[in-house]
């Protein structure tokens, strides 16, 4: 099973559901529809209405983040995993570089993963190196630290997906070459096996994925899907990514 996950970031109003309607319409008639899963993470403001609209359809809805406490607290503007699950979301992103840059520590991220799993959310855990770490050949050590400091063997690996998003690639149009991405994907899966022993979680790629470069990723069998940013805000681009992957 492949994953095509759209991260809308700070985008979307109620009428933006038309984007998902078009994606859902395409998927319902796509001969490859049983080979992949579509997940969209809109802003918190849209989660409940999107969940209700697609309850009996094939698009899953998730959140872009969650707070590192279980249910309720006195933290202004915080949204807990319990609250997210209560409105019907089934997934949440954790550890996106945007949130890491705003202060998310490994300890905070570990709690987010723990409480998300406890509240029956599937976690899309994001990792990635910055430009300096890449330049200084610290990609592998950075990814190993990010994985081992947060993910624990007692976590339910069946409900965890890892998304590799090199920070230097996000929104830049630059992507790793095939050889480097293959090596990195293999490295991530090796680290995950040291944590979970057998059958490591799925590993996705994210960072400037679009309908024009998706062909390159198809050649790398170790990649189990994609976390898609800007292109997911356009039904045509998102659909073309899926079409071009399976053509």
**Rounded-to-integer distance, Cα 46 and Cα 59, Å:** 14
**Rounded-to-integer distance, Cα 25 and Cα 191, Å:** 38
Determine what percent of the chain is predicted with pLDDT higher than 70. Answer: 100
In this predicted structure, the answer to whether residue 200 has a pLDDT above a threshold of 90 is: no
70-105 burial: b if 16+ Cβ within 10 Å, else e: eeeeeeeeebbbbbbbebebbbbbbbbbbbbeeebe
Q: Which of 129, 165, 187, 211 is catalytic?
A: 165
Domain of 181, CATH number, reads 3.20.20.70
The residue behind tokens 């809308």 is: 8
Domain of 159?
2-246
The per-residue pLDDT for range 157-182, each reduced to its tens digit, is 999 999 999 999 998 989 999 999 99
In this predicted structure, the answer to whether residue 207 has a pLDDT above a threshold of 90 is: yes
Q: Which of 48, 53, 96, 154 is catalytic?
A: 96
In this predicted structure, the answer to whether residue 198 has a pLDDT above a threshold of 90 is: no
Note the pLDDT of residue 199: 83
- Across the range 22-43, mean pLDDT stands at 97
- Across the range 182-205, mean pLDDT stands at 95
The per-residue pLDDT for range 18-31, each reduced to its tens digit, is 999 999 999 999 99
Note the pLDDT of residue 62: 98
Measured CA to CA in angstroms, residue 168 lies from 31, 61, 159, 175, 207 at distances of: 35, 27, 28, 9, 8
Note the pLDDT of residue 56: 83
Q: Quickly count: other Cβ atoms within 10 Å of residue 223's Cβ.
A: 20
In this predicted structure, the answer to whether residue 58 has a pLDDT above a threshold of 90 is: no
Contacts for 153 with CB less than 8 Å, ≥ 6 apart: 195, 196, 197
Determine what percent of the chain is predicted with pLDDT higher than 90. Answer: 95
- Across the range 186-196, mean pLDDT stands at 97
In this predicted structure, the answer to whether residue 240 has a pLDDT above a threshold of 90 is: yes
Confidence of residue 100 (pLDDT cuts 50, 70, 90): very high
The number of domains in the chain is 1
**Terminus-to-terminus CA distance in the chain, angstroms?**
16
Confidence of residue 126 (pLDDT cuts 50, 70, 90): very high
Whole-number average pLDDT of the chain: 96
- In the numeric block, which tokens belong to residue 10? 């700070």
Catalytic site includes residue 96: yes
Answer yes or no: are the C-beta atoms of 110 and 155 closer than 8 Å: no
- Strands 225-228, 91-94: pairing is unpaired
Confidence of residue 34 (pLDDT cuts 50, 70, 90): very high
In this predicted structure, the answer to whether residue 242 has a pLDDT above a threshold of 90 is: yes
**Rounded-to-integer distance, Cα 230 and Cα 80, Å:** 26
Catalytic site includes residue 53: no
Answer yes or no: are the C-beta atoms of 43 and 8 closer than 8 Å: yes
């Amino acid at each position: 099973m492949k994953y095509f996950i759209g991260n809308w970031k700070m985008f979307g109003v109620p009428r933006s559901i038309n984007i998902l309607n078009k994606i859902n319409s395409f998927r319902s008639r796509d001969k490859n529809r049983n080979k992949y899963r579509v997940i969209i993470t809109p802003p918190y403001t849209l989660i409940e209405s999107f969940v209700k609209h697609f309850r009996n359809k094939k698009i899953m809805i998730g959140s872009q983040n969650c707070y590192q406490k279980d249910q309720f607290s006195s933290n202004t503007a915080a949204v807990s995993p319990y609250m997210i699950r209560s409105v019907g979301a089934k997934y949440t992103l954790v550890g996106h570089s945007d949130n890491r840059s705003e202060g998310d520590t490994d300890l905070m991220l570990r709690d987010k993963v723990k409480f998300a799993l406890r509240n029956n959310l599937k976690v899309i855990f994001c990792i990635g190196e910055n430009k300096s770490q890449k330049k200084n050949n610290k990609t592998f050590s950075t990814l190993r630290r990010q994985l081992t400091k947060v993910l624990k063997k007692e976590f339910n690996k069946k409900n965890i997906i890892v998304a590799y998003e090199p920070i230097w690639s996000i929104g830049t149009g630059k992507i790793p070459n095939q050889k480097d991405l293959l090596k990195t994907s293999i490295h991530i899966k090796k680290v995950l096996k040291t944590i979970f022993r057998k059958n490591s979680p799925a590993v996705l790629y994210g960072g400037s994925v679009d309908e024009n470069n998706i062909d390159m990723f198809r050649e790398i069998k170790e990649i189990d899907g994609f976390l898609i940013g800007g292109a997911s805000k356009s039904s045509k681009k998102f659909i073309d990514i899926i079409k071009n992957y399976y053509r």
